Homo-oligomer: A and B are copies of this chain.
Protein backbone atom coordinates (compact mmCIF):
# COMPACT_ATOMS: atom_id res chain seq x y z
CA UNK A 1 0.00 0.00 0.00
CA UNK A 2 1.36 3.39 -0.95
CA UNK A 3 1.47 6.04 1.75
CA UNK A 4 0.12 9.37 0.60
CA UNK A 5 1.60 12.50 2.08
CA UNK A 6 0.72 12.94 5.73
CA UNK A 7 -0.36 9.34 6.31
CA UNK A 8 2.57 7.97 8.32
CA UNK A 9 3.25 9.45 11.70
CA UNK A 10 6.73 10.34 12.88
CA UNK A 11 6.92 8.37 16.15
CA UNK A 12 10.43 9.54 17.00
CA UNK A 13 9.47 11.81 19.93
CA UNK A 14 7.92 8.79 21.66
CA UNK A 15 5.07 10.71 23.27
CA UNK A 16 2.98 13.47 21.79
CA UNK A 17 2.66 16.72 23.65
CA UNK A 18 -0.83 18.05 22.92
CA UNK A 19 -0.13 21.73 23.39
CA UNK A 20 -1.81 22.99 20.23
CA UNK A 21 -5.18 21.54 19.34
CA UNK A 22 -7.40 22.15 16.32
CA UNK A 23 -11.10 21.37 16.60
CA UNK A 24 -13.10 20.90 13.40
CA UNK A 25 -16.81 21.65 13.86
CA UNK A 26 -18.01 24.00 16.64
CA UNK A 27 -21.22 22.11 17.49
CA UNK A 28 -22.34 20.44 20.70
CA UNK A 29 -19.29 18.16 20.89
CA UNK A 30 -16.65 20.48 19.45
CA UNK A 31 -17.94 23.37 21.53
CA UNK A 32 -17.95 21.29 24.70
CA UNK A 33 -14.38 20.15 24.05
CA UNK A 34 -13.34 23.79 23.67
CA UNK A 35 -15.14 24.77 26.88
CA UNK A 36 -13.60 21.84 28.76
CA UNK A 37 -10.08 22.63 27.50
CA UNK A 38 -10.49 26.31 28.39
CA UNK A 39 -11.59 25.34 31.88
CA UNK A 40 -9.29 22.40 32.58
CA UNK A 41 -6.10 23.10 30.62
CA UNK A 42 -6.14 26.84 29.87
CA UNK A 43 -2.51 26.67 28.69
CA UNK A 44 -3.59 24.66 25.60
CA UNK A 45 -3.60 26.72 22.42
CA UNK A 46 -6.86 26.22 20.58
CA UNK A 47 -7.93 26.74 16.94
CA UNK A 48 -11.49 26.12 15.80
CA UNK A 49 -12.39 25.48 12.18
CA UNK A 50 -15.95 26.10 11.01
CA UNK A 51 -17.93 27.17 7.97
CA UNK A 52 -20.09 29.94 9.43
CA UNK A 53 -18.39 33.32 9.96
CA UNK A 54 -20.98 34.45 12.53
CA UNK A 55 -20.38 31.34 14.63
CA UNK A 56 -16.61 31.84 14.43
CA UNK A 57 -17.02 35.44 15.54
CA UNK A 58 -19.09 34.28 18.50
CA UNK A 59 -16.33 31.81 19.40
CA UNK A 60 -13.77 34.58 19.51
CA UNK A 61 -16.13 36.87 21.43
CA UNK A 62 -16.65 34.16 24.04
CA UNK A 63 -12.89 33.38 24.02
CA UNK A 64 -13.56 29.72 23.27
CA UNK A 65 -10.45 29.58 21.06
CA UNK A 66 -7.22 31.48 20.44
CA UNK A 67 -7.94 31.57 16.72
CA UNK A 68 -10.62 30.55 14.26
CA UNK A 69 -10.25 29.44 10.64
CA UNK A 70 -12.45 28.79 7.66
CA UNK A 71 -9.56 27.24 5.73
CA UNK A 72 -8.84 23.67 6.87
CA UNK A 73 -5.22 23.90 5.75
CA UNK A 74 -4.56 26.95 7.92
CA UNK A 75 -6.46 25.37 10.82
CA UNK A 76 -4.09 22.39 11.10
CA UNK A 77 -0.88 24.43 10.83
CA UNK A 78 1.17 23.79 13.97
CA UNK A 79 -1.49 21.54 15.52
CA UNK A 80 -0.32 18.60 17.65
CA UNK A 81 -3.82 17.14 17.61
CA UNK A 82 -6.76 17.58 15.26
CA UNK A 83 -10.17 16.59 16.62
CA UNK A 84 -12.81 16.20 13.91
CA UNK A 85 -16.26 16.86 15.40
CA UNK A 86 -18.18 17.47 12.17
CA UNK A 87 -21.02 15.28 10.91
CA UNK A 88 -19.62 11.91 9.79
CA UNK A 89 -20.59 12.60 6.17
CA UNK A 90 -17.97 15.33 5.65
CA UNK A 91 -15.07 13.73 7.54
CA UNK A 92 -13.54 12.02 4.51
CA UNK A 93 -13.34 15.28 2.58
CA UNK A 94 -11.71 17.01 5.55
CA UNK A 95 -9.19 14.21 6.01
CA UNK A 96 -8.25 14.33 2.34
CA UNK A 97 -7.80 18.10 2.46
CA UNK A 98 -5.74 18.30 5.65
CA UNK A 99 -3.57 15.18 5.26
CA UNK A 100 -0.75 16.75 3.19
CA UNK A 101 -0.56 19.74 5.55
CA UNK A 102 -0.40 18.05 8.95
CA UNK A 103 2.67 18.44 11.13
CA UNK A 104 4.80 15.26 10.99
CA UNK A 105 3.98 14.41 14.60
CA UNK A 106 0.28 15.44 14.45
CA UNK A 107 -2.40 13.07 15.71
CA UNK A 108 -5.96 13.06 14.38
CA UNK A 109 -9.05 11.74 16.13
CA UNK A 110 -12.79 12.21 15.66
CA UNK A 111 -15.98 12.18 17.71
CA UNK A 112 -18.32 10.49 15.23
CA UNK A 113 -20.96 8.13 16.58
CA UNK A 114 -20.13 5.36 14.08
CA UNK A 115 -16.63 4.02 13.71
CA UNK A 116 -16.28 1.30 11.09
CA UNK A 117 -17.00 3.53 8.10
CA UNK A 118 -15.06 6.46 9.57
CA UNK A 119 -11.94 4.39 10.22
CA UNK A 120 -12.23 2.74 6.78
CA UNK A 121 -12.62 6.07 4.98
CA UNK A 122 -10.09 8.20 6.90
CA UNK A 123 -7.22 5.74 7.34
CA UNK A 124 -6.18 5.79 3.64
CA UNK A 125 -5.54 9.52 3.99
CA UNK A 126 -4.34 9.79 7.57
CA UNK A 127 -2.66 6.43 8.18
CA UNK A 128 -1.73 5.38 11.70
CA UNK A 129 -1.82 8.94 13.04
CA UNK A 130 -5.61 8.58 13.03
CA UNK A 131 -7.46 6.94 15.90
CA UNK A 132 -11.27 6.80 15.89
CA UNK A 133 -13.11 7.99 18.97
CA UNK A 134 -16.67 8.33 20.24
CA UNK A 135 -17.44 10.28 23.41
CA UNK A 136 -20.81 8.89 24.52
CA UNK A 137 -22.14 12.17 25.75
CA UNK A 138 -24.72 14.42 24.24
CA UNK A 139 -28.19 15.71 24.55
CA UNK A 140 -31.25 15.86 22.33
CA UNK A 141 -30.18 19.47 21.78
CA UNK A 142 -27.41 20.24 19.33
CA UNK A 143 -25.19 23.12 18.29
CA UNK A 144 -22.79 25.40 20.11
CA UNK A 145 -25.57 26.78 22.32
CA UNK A 146 -26.03 23.31 23.84
CA UNK A 147 -22.29 22.90 24.59
CA UNK A 148 -21.27 22.49 28.24
CA UNK A 149 -17.88 22.45 29.90
CA UNK A 150 -18.68 19.32 31.90
CA UNK A 151 -20.36 17.36 29.09
CA UNK A 152 -17.70 14.65 29.19
CA UNK A 153 -17.20 14.48 32.95
CA UNK A 154 -17.89 10.87 33.92
CA UNK A 155 -19.08 9.98 30.40
CA UNK A 156 -17.76 6.92 28.60
CA UNK A 157 -15.51 7.54 25.61
CA UNK A 158 -14.78 4.65 23.24
CA UNK A 159 -11.52 4.63 21.26
CA UNK A 160 -11.17 2.17 18.39
CA UNK A 161 -7.51 1.29 17.74
CA UNK A 162 -6.70 -1.12 14.93
CA UNK A 163 -3.77 -3.51 14.48
CA UNK A 164 -1.65 -0.67 13.07
CA UNK A 165 -2.32 1.94 15.80
CA UNK A 166 0.98 2.73 17.62
CA UNK A 167 0.60 2.36 21.41
CA UNK A 168 1.87 5.91 21.84
CA UNK A 169 -0.97 7.26 19.71
CA UNK A 170 -3.52 5.35 21.79
CA UNK A 171 -1.88 6.55 25.02
CA UNK A 172 -1.90 10.22 23.97
CA UNK A 173 -5.50 10.31 22.82
CA UNK A 174 -6.57 8.38 25.91
CA UNK A 175 -4.88 11.08 27.98
CA UNK A 176 -6.64 13.78 25.98
CA UNK A 177 -10.12 12.38 26.77
CA UNK A 178 -9.25 11.52 30.35
CA UNK A 179 -8.18 15.15 30.84
CA UNK A 180 -11.72 16.18 29.83
CA UNK A 181 -13.12 13.87 32.50
CA UNK A 182 -14.19 11.00 30.24
CA UNK A 183 -13.77 7.36 31.11
CA UNK A 184 -11.96 5.72 28.17
CA UNK A 185 -12.67 2.20 26.87
CA UNK A 186 -11.15 0.61 23.78
CA UNK A 187 -12.63 -1.85 21.30
CA UNK A 188 -12.49 -2.56 17.58
CA UNK A 189 -14.47 -0.29 15.21
CA UNK A 190 -16.83 -3.20 14.39
CA UNK A 191 -17.44 -4.08 18.01
CA UNK A 192 -18.14 -0.39 18.69
CA UNK A 193 -20.74 -0.23 15.94
CA UNK A 194 -22.44 -3.46 17.07
CA UNK A 195 -22.59 -2.18 20.61
CA UNK A 196 -23.80 1.37 20.01
CA UNK A 197 -26.34 0.05 17.51
CA UNK A 198 -28.01 -1.65 20.47
CA UNK A 199 -27.23 0.74 23.34
CA UNK A 200 -27.87 4.03 21.55
CA UNK A 201 -29.05 3.81 17.94
CA UNK A 202 -31.80 1.24 18.62
CA UNK A 203 -33.26 3.19 21.58
CA UNK A 204 -33.35 6.27 19.35
CA UNK A 205 -35.01 4.39 16.47
CA UNK A 206 -37.56 2.93 18.90
CA UNK A 207 -38.37 6.36 20.32
CA UNK A 208 -39.07 7.79 16.85
CA UNK A 209 -41.14 4.71 15.90
CA UNK A 210 -43.18 4.79 19.12
CA UNK A 211 -44.19 8.41 18.53
CA UNK A 212 -45.22 7.61 14.95
CA UNK A 213 -47.18 4.52 16.02
CA UNK A 214 -49.17 6.58 18.50
CA UNK A 215 -49.68 9.57 16.22
CA UNK A 216 -50.84 7.42 13.32
CA UNK A 217 -53.14 5.00 15.18
CA UNK A 218 -54.70 7.05 17.97
CA UNK A 219 -56.94 10.13 17.93
CA UNK A 220 -55.05 13.37 18.43
CA UNK A 221 -56.39 14.03 21.92
CA UNK A 222 -54.97 10.68 23.04
CA UNK A 223 -51.51 12.20 23.42
CA UNK A 224 -52.93 14.22 26.30
CA UNK A 225 -53.10 10.94 28.22
CA UNK A 226 -49.49 9.99 27.59
CA UNK A 227 -47.82 9.18 30.88
CA UNK A 228 -44.28 8.82 32.12
CA UNK A 229 -43.49 5.57 30.32
CA UNK A 230 -44.36 7.15 26.97
CA UNK A 231 -42.63 10.41 27.85
CA UNK A 232 -39.35 8.75 28.84
CA UNK A 233 -39.52 6.08 26.14
CA UNK A 234 -39.80 8.80 23.48
CA UNK A 235 -37.62 11.57 24.95
CA UNK A 236 -34.89 11.19 22.34
CA UNK A 237 -37.45 11.44 19.51
CA UNK A 238 -36.94 15.15 20.16
CA UNK A 239 -33.43 14.79 18.69
CA UNK A 240 -32.31 16.35 15.40
CA UNK A 241 -33.87 14.22 12.60
CA UNK A 242 -31.21 14.83 9.96
CA UNK A 243 -28.38 14.17 12.41
CA UNK A 244 -30.03 10.89 13.38
CA UNK A 245 -31.01 9.88 9.87
CA UNK A 246 -27.27 10.21 9.15
CA UNK A 247 -26.17 8.21 12.18
CA UNK A 248 -28.66 5.39 11.57
CA UNK A 249 -27.73 5.26 7.87
CA UNK A 250 -24.01 5.23 8.54
CA UNK A 251 -24.44 2.26 10.88
CA UNK A 252 -27.14 0.72 8.70
CA UNK A 253 -25.98 -2.88 8.87
CA UNK A 254 -25.82 -3.13 12.67
CA UNK A 255 -28.86 -0.93 13.25
CA UNK A 256 -30.82 -3.00 10.72
CA UNK A 257 -29.90 -6.20 12.59
CA UNK A 258 -30.76 -4.67 15.95
CA UNK A 259 -34.15 -3.45 14.66
CA UNK A 260 -34.94 -6.93 13.35
CA UNK A 261 -33.86 -8.54 16.64
CA UNK A 262 -36.15 -6.15 18.49
CA UNK A 263 -39.04 -6.86 16.11
CA UNK A 264 -38.56 -10.59 16.75
CA UNK A 265 -38.63 -10.07 20.53
CA UNK A 266 -41.81 -7.98 20.32
CA UNK A 267 -43.55 -10.47 18.04
CA UNK A 268 -42.55 -13.21 20.48
CA UNK A 269 -44.15 -11.29 23.36
CA UNK A 270 -47.31 -10.79 21.28
CA UNK A 271 -47.44 -14.52 20.63
CA UNK A 272 -46.92 -15.40 24.30
CA UNK A 273 -49.66 -12.98 25.36
CA UNK A 274 -52.12 -14.14 22.75
CA UNK A 275 -51.54 -17.80 23.56
CA UNK A 276 -52.03 -17.13 27.29
CA UNK A 277 -48.47 -18.17 28.15
CA UNK A 278 -48.26 -15.97 31.23
CA UNK A 279 -45.32 -17.89 32.74
CA UNK A 280 -43.08 -17.03 29.80
CA UNK A 281 -44.16 -13.39 29.96
CA UNK A 282 -43.44 -13.27 33.68
CA UNK A 283 -40.00 -14.88 33.15
CA UNK A 284 -39.23 -12.39 30.38
CA UNK A 285 -40.16 -9.37 32.52
CA UNK A 286 -38.41 -10.73 35.61
CA UNK A 287 -35.17 -11.29 33.70
CA UNK A 288 -35.34 -7.73 32.34
CA UNK A 289 -36.01 -6.16 35.72
CA UNK A 290 -33.15 -8.06 37.37
CA UNK A 291 -30.74 -6.91 34.70
CA UNK A 292 -32.06 -3.33 34.67
CA UNK A 293 -31.75 -3.02 38.45
CA UNK A 294 -28.05 -3.90 38.21
CA UNK A 295 -27.22 -1.27 35.61
CA UNK A 296 -25.05 1.64 36.59
CA UNK A 297 -27.16 4.67 35.74
CA UNK A 298 -25.71 7.74 34.14
CA UNK A 299 -26.83 11.07 35.51
CA UNK A 300 -30.26 12.07 34.21
CA UNK A 301 -30.52 14.24 31.08
CA UNK A 302 -26.84 14.25 30.34
CA UNK A 303 -25.84 11.35 28.11
CA UNK A 304 -27.27 10.09 24.89
| A residues lining the B interface (CB < 8 Å) | 136-139, 155-156, 158, 185, 194-196, 198-200, 202-215, 217-218, 222-242, 244-245, 248-249, 252-253, 255-267, 269-271, 273-274, 276, 278, 281-282, 284-289, 291-298, 300-304
B303 touches A212 (CB 8 A): no
Complex CA–CA separation, A155 to B278 (angstroms):
30
A273 touches B249 (CB 8 A): yes
B296 touches A223 (CB 8 A): yes
The smallest beta-carbon distance between A178 and chain B, in angstroms, is 16
For A303, list chain B residues within 8 Å (CB).
Answer: 227-228, 231
Q: Given A205-B269, A252-B276: A232 and B236 within 8 A (CB)? A: yes
For A288, list chain B residues within 8 Å (CB).
Answer: 207-209, 211-212, 215, 234, 237, 241
For A238, list chain B residues within 8 Å (CB).
Answer: 289, 292-293
B274 touches A234 (CB 8 A): no
For A265, list chain B residues within 8 Å (CB).
Answer: 209, 212-213
B236 touches A291 (CB 8 A): no
The smallest beta-carbon distance between A253 and chain B, in angstroms, is 7
Complex CA–CA separation, A21 to B247 (angstroms):
56
Complex CA–CA separation, A15 to B200 (angstroms):
54
The SS class assigned to the A binding surface is helix
Copy number in the complex reads: 2
A199 touches B226 (CB 8 A): yes
For A213, list chain B residues within 8 Å (CB).
Answer: 198, 202, 258, 261-262, 265
For A269, list chain B residues within 8 Å (CB).
Answer: 205, 209, 248, 259
For A255, list chain B residues within 8 Å (CB).
Answer: 270, 273
A274 touches B297 (CB 8 A): no
For A267, list chain B residues within 8 Å (CB).
Answer: 259-260, 263
Complex CA–CA separation, A155 to B294 (angstroms):
30
B136 touches A284 (CB 8 A): no
For A158, list chain B residues within 8 Å (CB).
Answer: 225
Give the most central of A257, A273, A298, A304: most B CB within 10 Å. A273
Complex CA–CA separation, A115 to B270 (angstroms):
19
The smallest beta-carbon distance between A24 and chain B, in angstroms, is 23
For A301, list chain B residues within 8 Å (CB).
Answer: 228
For A214, list chain B residues within 8 Å (CB).
Answer: 198-199, 291
Q: Given A208-B285, A213-B261, A266-B262: A225 and B278 within 8 A (CB)? A: no
